[in-house]
Amino acid sequence: MQTKNRRFRLPSYRRLLIGLLTSFLTAGCTSLESRLSIEPYTKNKPVRNALEDLAEAYCREKRTETHAQPDFIFTTDGCSRWPDDDWVACCIAHDIAYWCGGSGRDRDYADRELMRCVNAKANGLGNILYAGVRLGGMPWLPTPWRWGYGWDNWPAGYETLPPSPPAPQLFEKLNVYESIERHLNGSAH
C-alpha cells in the first residue's frame, strides 16, 4: 500500500485572514505618533519648517470655520511601507491631507488624488497604492499613518466638517506639489 505525501494547506480565505490578523497585531506594536521623516526634512531645518508651514496652511484651508491645527507637528515618511521614487511628492502631499484628517469624503478625495498623481508618474502604480491606503489608512487603526494621524484622539472616526474644497483644489491653490518638488530637488523656498 502506497501512502501519499499530503501537505496541509489552509484555504485561501483563511490564509488571508491570518495575514490580516498578523498585520493588525504587528501594527498594534507601532507608535500612534508619527516620528519618521525623510530627507531633506530630517536635516534641513528651513526646508522642514517650510513643509510644516505648508501642511498647516492646508489644514487652515480645510478647517475653514475653526482653523484648528492637529496636536502633533507634521511629519512624513514619504510613501509609507513603499519605495520612494519619482512619485514621492505625491505621497508627501497625501501625508499632508492624512495629517489634517477630516471627513470620509475628504479622505476619499485625498486617496483618489494620490492615485491620479502616482499614475501620472508611473502608470498603474497609483491603483496599487490606492488599494493600500484605502485598506491601511482607516482612522481607527493604531498606526502612525492612519487618517487624522496629526490628532491626539485615537481611536477616532471620521469628522463632520463644514464643506471645504477637496484636496486636489487645495493642493493646486497652495502649490503643494511644486513646493515639495523644490524641496526634494534641493532648491530654496
How many angstroms separate the CA atoms of 91 and 117, rounded? Answer: 9
DSSP calls for 21-38? HHHHHHHTTS-SS-----
Instruction: List the grid coordinates of 104.
Output: 470620509
Q: Which has more pLDDT, 32 or 82?
A: 82
Asked if residue 33 has pLDDT above 60, the reply is no
How many angstroms separate the CA atoms of 60 and 85, rounded? Answer: 29
Q: What is the band of 171 on the pLDDT scale with cuts at 50, 70, 90?
A: very high
Tens of pLDDT, residue by residue over 113-149, are 999 999 999 999 999 999 999 999 999 998 888 999 9
Looking at residue 59, its amino acid is C
- Predicted TM-score (pTM) of the model is 0.80
Helix 88-100 vs helix 104-121: crossing angle, to nearest 10: 170
Quote the pLDDT of residue 28. 45
Quote the pLDDT of residue 36. 57
Tens of pLDDT, residue by residue over 56-114, are 999 999 988 877 899 999 999 888 877 778 899 999 999 999 999 999 999 999 999 99
Quote the pLDDT of residue 71. 94
Residue (of 109, 126, 127) closest to 118 by Cα position:
126
Non-local CB neighbours of 187 within 8 Å, separated by 6+ positions:
none
Chain centroid to Cα 181, Å, comes to: 17
Quote the pLDDT of residue 131. 95
State mean pLDDT over 175-187.
91
Give percent of the chain with pLDDT exceeding 70: 79
Quote the pLDDT of residue 82. 79
Of 1-15, 36-50, 77-91, give the range with the top mean pLDDT. 77-91
